[in-house]
Structure 1
Amino acid sequence: MLQSPETAQQASVEAFKTLGICEQLAEAAAALGWKEPTSIQQQAVPLLLQGRDVIGLAQTGSGKTGAFVLPILQDLLNKPQPLFALVLSPTRELAIQIAEQAEALGAGIALRTAVLVGGINMMDQALHLGKRPHIIVGTPGRVVDHLSNTKGLNLKMLKHLVLDEADRLLNMDFEEEIDQILKAIPKERRTQLFSATMTSKVQKLQRACLRDPAKVEVDQKYKTVSTLRQQYLFIPAKHKDCYLVHALTELAGATFMIFTRTADGAQKLALLLRNLSFAAIPIYGKMSQDKRIGALNKFKAGQCSILVATDVASRGLDIPAVDVVVNYDVPHNSKDYVHRVGRTARAGRSGRALTLVTQYDVELYQRIEKLIGKKLEEFATEQELVLLLLERVSEAQRMATMQMRDADKSKGSKRKQQGEDAEDGDDRPSAGRGRGRGRGKRRN
């Protein structure tokens, strides 16, 4: 017997109330379409409501954000104050997504958030901080910039600290920034640390900032869902682009995420595909924040059917309705394969993953099969049909190379002009530019 929407909604509310959260927050969770608490929420939320520090081991897509946001909001309801919680994230996009989900859960209690990430004017962010947000979500580098340069920012009354995707935070060399943040916040606080893996660096961080933590863990075996069809193509490296274009043509009508190893690789591949009339758009770490958000929004809205990405988009981001994930470059870290292909076949839907394996990738490919415990299926192709594309693809490659070169020249000319303006005394530094150490790759 089918439930009415109202009955199903009330069942969801009751399911979340069993965690110990109040009815108002349970209704907010149900309003987001959450039918019942995930495993990590069932384990972590009651402990956090008891005031325990928690270390949670769970993969992306396991509901971690709800696990740490719901207890924070309940505590905020009981003891309202500004600058109540700080959430640290490894990437800009994940920080924005966490803030959006927190705002949705806290809409009924007039929750205020501020997002502190690179690529956005610091003065604008400082204005948001001036409105005394309840929750700050940011990347460590930009949070440190504001602690150093934004007058009036004081986190001495902070009650909650969350380190999300801690393994990635540490792999991106944020240890120094995290240390600075820990010195700026009170020792008497609640701390939550969530990570996909328990590395030695994560263990060290746990000892440094958590007190007698409770450990909760979702199944940590690296596995892929049963609704995901996983395939590979063994190809000569020199014809890699031909095989990719052939596969995209064979699977026409689907939405794709194509993963490359480098930012330049993502940019060039997107240009190549556009030159062949595919609706492709890139996203990578070097892009400005506005362009990264714009690329994601265009893909989500269906304006582009192909998102060419580096691993900046492999974990944490909620990108619905991806039909096919293509590993254009086999990842060096086998676990990244699981994160990448997790972009499709979500929430019970089916999906497909295709990995392009050249003669140089065999060992990396074998590691992936060993990690996930299964053999991948071969994607059927005929070499003669693929090589019919060679002339068109070669021309598109040449055009992409020229476009990349022209873009580099344009950037070089712009930098030269800015330098001349500075010599003339006309240079105006943008408001809020941090006086940090200038390690741009870490100002995520």
Structure 2
Amino acid sequence: MESDIRCNETTSEGRNEISATDVDRDVSFRDLGIVDVLCEACEQLKWKSPSKIQKEAIPVALQGKDVIGLAETGSGKTGAFALPILQALLVNPQRYFALILTPTRELAFQISEQFEALGSSIGVKCAVIVGGMDMMSQALTLAKKPHIIIATPGRLVDHLENTKGFNLRALKFLVMDEADRILNMDFEVEVDKILKVIPRERRTFLFSATMTKKVQKLQRASLKDPVKVEVSTKYQTVEKLQQYYIFIPLKFKDVYLVHILNEMAGNSFMIFCSTCSNTVRTALMLRSLGFTAVPLHGQMSQNKRLGALTKFKAKNRSILISTDVASRGLDIPHVDVVINFDIPTHSKDYIHRVGRTARAGRAGKSITFVTQYDVELYQRIEHLIGKQLPLYKTEEEEVMVLQERVSEAQRVAKIEVKDIETRTFGKGKRKKGGGGIGDDDDDVNSQGVRKRLKGRKKVNKYKK
């Protein structure tokens, strides 16, 4: 296998690097060194051949080296670290064998599904440890000593500090998926605490679509002479993704959104908003116009978040309206169109958002809404991806025909949001166990709003 890979020992940052041209394209998982039982699991998952990042990362990982993996989103990064870990587990069976850290709860559940699917024939036990779930039931799961723990940093620290008998002193593998997010300031305290209580003698993998080049952050993760495998030399999006922008006045954003959804009817959409409240408002507005939309945001309870994702994955809902909690790592094969309704503040988030479509070789489309206040942010995105996007063409007259209907839907949504806030938070107090607004019929029910509106009109009439 060493003859297939050419390592450069004298890179600018003192790391080994592998270029995409060094790996033969027509190889199988067996050729990479994966054992038969795991190759069969790949076949059952319909993974016909390794992706680029898998071709490069797996042989290096099997040689016992630490890995920094950089590849565009949707390129099969989970398989690139899951297969070497499961193969090592076969050789040396052990509880608390590997820890996978992820920035979001949804991504943790998705990674767990892949580990369980790949390891089903060898009896791998996984535990998902994330916030928003019951601590006691998680503690009982950890007491059963699973092989693989997939966790968000904050909740894992809670268990390391408070769950009696739980420790990771024998851990063999640490993986940081979406590593740039985990190594930034958001999780700094938690990651430092975790690194202090796990063995220094371990294997470490960092994987992400975008990665900071600051060496200090990589050193914080305690990598030892890592090999950097990279299938893209700059921040980029996949080739089969058609990207557009649309320049519109802020006050007409909703009208243009409805026009595009009508024009592309029959497709599956992910719409990204910048705030939790805007995801809910937009979902309510679209529902009142007859669209099957479901919101997903950080203030929802974990059960509602998983419920919303399940409905969208099962195609019971054609539109998922989300904050950036869904922008990283989630693999939903049938997403046809990504709409950046609110432009991302951080340019790198654009890469992750549009990566929800055109995954694993499929085609996809993205449209970014740019208002008069977003020009600078949009220019940063174009600079980052190194290309100017074409304008998505619309006829203004066709769009503005919808203005009256959209205005009514906005009014309905505004009243329903207030109604939900009253029921959720009461008189200034948040309900115990409340997690924000989800996809319950009671929460998002435009017909109910219309009935209440009609009732109010009648009351006003009698007052006169």
TM-score by length of 2: 0.83
1:146 correspondence with 2:159: yes
Cα deviations across residues 230-251 of structure 1 (Å, max 9, x unaligned)?
Answer: 2222111111111111111111
Q: Does 1:206 align with 2:232?
A: no
Aligned to 1:291: 304
Return the match for 2:61 from 38, 45, 48. Answer: 48
Cα separation, partners in 2 of 1:343 and 1:410, compared to 1, 3 Å: same
Contact 1:224–1:372 (Cα < 8 Å) also in 2: yes
Measure the CA separation in 2 of the matches of 1:321 and 1:417.
36
User: Could you say if the C-alpha distance between residues 418 and 93 of structure 1 is closer, same or farther in structure 2, counting changes exceeding 3 Å?
Assistant: closer
Aligned to 2:19: none
Asked if 1:301 is matched to 2:301, the reply is no
Counterpart of 1:310? Answer: 323
Paired residue secondary structure (1:377): coil
Q: Which moved more, 1:334-343 or 1:407-416?
A: 407-416
Match of 1:220 among 206, 223, 233: 233
Residues 283 and 402 (structure 1), Cα distance of their counterparts in 2 relative to 1, 3 Å cut: same
Aligned residue for 1:107? Answer: 120
Q: Please say if residues 168 and 197 of structure 2, whose CA atoms lie closer than 8 Å, have aligned partners that are also in contact.
A: yes
- Contact 2:324–2:353 (8 Å) recurs in 1: yes
- Aligned in 2, Cα 1:224/1:274: closer, same or farther, shift over 3 Å? same
Which region of structure 1 is more displaced relative to structure 2, 15-24 or 188-197?
188-197
Distance in 2 (alpha carbons) for counterparts of 1:228 and 1:400: 33
Amino acid at match of 2:31: T
Deviates more, 1:348-357 or 1:185-194: 348-357
**Aligned match of 2:94 in 63, 74, 81?**
81
After TM superposition, give the deviation of residue 172 of structure 1 in Å. 5.7
What residue is the counterpart of 1:351 in the other structure?
364
Give the structure 2 partner of residue 260 of structure 1. 273
User: Cα RMSD over matched residues?
Assistant: 2.2
Alignment partner of 1:15: what SS?
Answer: coil
Q: 2: CA distance between counterparts of 1:31 and 1:123?
A: 35
Unaligned 5+ runs, structure 1: 1-11, 420-427, 429-444
| Equivalent-residue separation in structure 2 for 1:161 and 1:346 (angstroms) | 26
Q: What number of residue pairs does the alignment pair up?
A: 409
283, 287, 309: which is aligned to 1:274?
Answer: 287
- Paired residue for 2:256? 243
Q: Distance in 2 between matches of 1:418 and 1:305?
A: 30
Q: Indicate yes or no: 2:371 matched with 1:338.
A: no
* CA–CA separation in structure 1 for the residues paired with 2:241 and 2:30: 33
Residue aligning to 1:325? 338
The residue type equivalent to 1:45 in the other structure is I
Matches within 5 A, 1:168-187: 168-171=181-184, 173-187=186-200
Distance in 2 between residues matched to 1:381 and 1:40, nearest whole Å:
38
- Higher mean C-alpha deviation, range 389-398 or range 113-122: 389-398
Q: CA contact under 8 A between 2:75 and 2:360: conserved in structure 1?
A: no
Which stretch has the larger CA shift, 228-237 or 150-159?
Answer: 228-237
| 1:32 pairs with one of 33, 37, 45 | 45
1:167 Cα deviation (Å)?
Answer: 0.7
Task: Check the 8 A contact 1:59/1:220 in 2, yes or no.
Answer: no
Please report how far the alpha carbon of residue 170 of structure 1 lies from its aligned counterpart in structure 2 after TM superposition: 2.9
- Kept in 1, the 8 Å contact 2:247–2:370? The answer is yes
Alignment of 1:68 with 2:81, yes or no, is: yes
Structure 1 residues 70 and 145: CA distance shift in structure 2, 3 A: same
User: In the TM superposition, what whole-angstrom CA distance separates every residue of 1:199-248 from its partner, at most 9, and x where no partner exists?
Assistant: 25664243551122222222132333343322222111111111111111
1:387 counterpart (375, 400, 419): 400
Aligned CA distance change for structure 1 residues 98 and 285 (closer, same or farther; 3 Å): same
1:31 is displaced (CA, Å) by 1.7
Moved more, 114-123 or 27-36: 27-36
Q: 1:162·1:191 contact (CA, 8 Å) conserved in 2?
A: yes
Structure 1 residue 418: Cα displacement = 6.4
**Which residues of 2 match residues 152-167 of structure 1 at below 5 A?**
152-167=165-180
Which residue of 24, 29, 33 maps to 1:20?
33
The answer to whether the Cα contact below 8 Å between 2:57 and 2:69 also exists between their aligned partners in 1 is yes
Instruction: Compare 309-318 and 37-46 and name the one that shifted more.
Output: 37-46
Cα distance in 2 for partners of 1:418, 1:289 equals 15
Alpha-carbon distance in 2 for matches of 1:327, 1:283: 15
Q: Secondary structure at the match of 1:173?
A: helix
Q: Which residue of 1 aligns with 2:104?
A: 91
User: What residue in structure 1 maps to residue 4 of structure 2?
Assistant: none
Pick from 392, 395, 399 the counterpart of residue 412 of structure 2.
399
Deviations 1:35-93 (A, max 9, x none): 21222222222222222222222232222211111111111111111111111111101
- Say if 2:247 is the partner of 1:231: no
Cα displacement (A) at 1:143: 0.4
SS class of match (1:378): coil
Match of 1:118 among 131, 135, 156: 131
Is contact 1:41–1:66 with CA below 8 Å preserved after alignment?
A: yes
Work out whether residues 311 and 340 of structure 1, in 8 Å CA contact, stay in contact via their aligned partners in 2: yes
Deviations 1:134-186 (A, max 9, x none): 00000000101111111111211111111111111134611111111112111
CA distance in 1, matches of 2:233, 2:266: 34
Q: 1:275 to 1:212 in 2, by over 3 A?
A: same
C-alpha distance in structure 1 between counterparts of 2:254 and 2:185, whole Å: 30
Deviation (angstroms), 1:415: 7.1
What one-letter code is carried by the residue in structure 1 that aligns with 2:208?
S
Where 2:186 maps in the other structure, the secondary structure is coil
TM-score where L is the length of structure 1:
0.87
